[in-house]
């Protein structure tokens, strides 16, 4: 089964770029503009990696992360000036982020995940 990656951000252009970035990684990328919709999907089909923007309509990335199972690894991407290192996230990126870095990180994560699966 392919790895599932969800990305929640209220900027559709960023989501588009994200999708384009991960095209070659052989993963299912699903993006959400609406955090509520994202939550429903997460409950139904929990992703292998959840990427969240900090400032979302009506909720912050941190709050959203708190509602989701701690077993799901998460990445926070924020346009805020002060970058919080939060225990809920494995990694925090500040905007504007370097796509190359993000791409490298996610591909490494996926490789590890696949290794774990094949091992188990």
Partner 1 sequence: MEKELKSEIENQRLKALYELNILDTVCEREFDDITALASTICGMPISLISLVDDNRQWFKSNKGLSVNETARDISFCTHTIRQSDILYVKDAKKDSRFKDNPLVLGDPHIVSYAGVAIKDPEYSLPIGTLCVIDQKVRDLSLEQINSLRALGRQVEKLLELKQKIQCIDREKKQVEVVYSKTNMVLENAMLGSWDWDLTQNIVHFDRRWCDMLGLDVSSVKHELSTWDERVHPEDKEKAYIDIQSHLDGKTSIYENIHRMKHADGRWLWILDRGKVYATDDNGKPIKFSGIHLDITKYKEQEFLFNEVQQIGNIGGWELDVKTSQVKWTEQVYRIYNLPTIIPTHKIMALQFYVPHDRERISHLVERCVLEGQPYRGVFEFIDALGNKKWVESAGKPIYSAEGQVMTLRGTFQDVTEKVNAEKNLEFNRLVAVQNSKMASLGEMSAGIAHEINNPLSIINGAGELMQLKYPESSGLVEKINKSVHRIQKIVNGLRRFSRSAPLSTREVHSLRDIIQEALVIAAIRAKRANVELRVHLDIEGFIFCNPIEIEQALLNLMNNAVDANDSLGDGWVEIKLFEDADEVVVHISDGGCGISKDMADKIYEPFFTTKDVDKGTGLGLSICKGIIDSHEAVIRLKRDSGPTCFEVRFGRIKEPLHAS
List contacts with partner 1 (CB under 8 A): 11, 13-14, 17-18, 20-21, 55, 79-82, 94-100
Min separation Cβ 23 and partner 1, Å: 10
41 vs 6, 47, 66, 117, 119, CA distance in Å?
Answer: 9, 9, 16, 23, 28
Q: How many CB atoms lie within 10 A of CB 78?
A: 21
Q: Which is nearer to partner 1, 72 or 107 (CB)?
A: 107
Q: Which is nearer to partner 1, 20 or 66 (CB)?
A: 20
Min separation Cβ 46 and partner 1, Å: 27
Min separation Cβ 38 and partner 1, Å: 18
Alpha helices (H) along the chain: 12-21, 35-44, 61-66, 99-119
């Amino acid at each position: 089964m392919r790895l599932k990656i969800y990305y929640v951000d209220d900027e559709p252009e960023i989501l588009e770029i994200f999708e384009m970035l991960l095209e070659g990684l052989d993963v299912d990328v699903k993006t959400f503009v609406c955090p509520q919709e994202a939550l429903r999907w997460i409950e139904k089909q929990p992703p292998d990696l959840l990427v969240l923007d900090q400032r979302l309509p009506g909720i912050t990335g941190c709050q959203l992360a708190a509602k989701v199972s701690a077993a799901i690894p998460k990445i926070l991407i924020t346009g805020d000036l002060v970058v919080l290192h939060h225990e809920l996230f494995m990694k925090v990126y500040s905007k504007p982020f370097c796509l190359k870095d993000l791409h490298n990180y996610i591909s490494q994560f996926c490789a590890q995940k696949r290794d774990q699966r094949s091992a188990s």
